[in-house]
Copies of this chain bind each other. A is one copy, B any other.
Amino acid sequence: MIQQISIKTGTRGLHEITDELSAGLNEACRASGIDAGLCTVFIPHTSASLLIQENADPSCRRDLERWLHRLVPENDPMYTHTQEGPDDMPSHIKSMLTATTVSVPFVDGRLALGTWQGIFLWEHRTGVERRRLFIHIGA
């Protein structure tokens, strides 16, 4: 049970994808008859990543973005991998510090996320229009 979806990003930052993933899960549950199990999301990119974090207050999301951007600034004189622009190497490092895969259990066809949790695709680059995701559903 593997689906592939495409998410519009366009701008740098956290893009919530909980609704898209829930829709994909619903479809997979209907097609398969499975209604409880594990949903795993994998991002096949090295300059964008995944995060499960608070989706209620936008100030939390903004602080996460600003904090990571301060820890991993552009134009660090240490970088030698600079051919693809000043936002490229920071994007790889930010991806390294967050997640390439997240797994969330589901019960009765619904993700068992906490009250304040959302799933985010974190676009670390500027000027990238879309990112692909794989969703695996297992019993």
Q: What's the minimum C-beta distance from A91 to chain B, rounded to whole angstroms?
A: 10
Residues A14-44 near B (CB distance < 8 A) = 36-38, 40, 42, 44
- Known A104-B101, A117-B46, A136-B38; judge A78-B66 contact (CB<8 A): yes
List of B residues within 8 angstroms of A80 by Cβ: 59, 62-63
Interface size on A, residues (CB 8 A): 56
A97 vs B99: C-alpha distance when bound (angstroms): 9
- Is A63's CB under 8 angstroms from B44's CB? no
List of B residues within 8 angstroms of A63 by Cβ: 78-81, 89, 92-93
Q: What's the minimum C-beta distance from A114 to chain B, rounded to whole angstroms?
A: 3
List of B residues within 8 angstroms of A72 by Cβ: 67
- Is A64's CB under 8 angstroms from B103's CB? no
List of B residues within 8 angstroms of A97 by Cβ: 96-98
- Is B60's CB under 8 angstroms from A112's CB? no
User: Does residue A105 face the partner (Cβ distance < 8 Å to B)?
Assistant: yes
Beyond A2-B107, A63-B80, A138-B139, 7 additional contacts (C-beta under 8 Å) are A44-B113, A46-B53, A60-B89, A63-B78, A63-B79, A67-B93, A99-B100
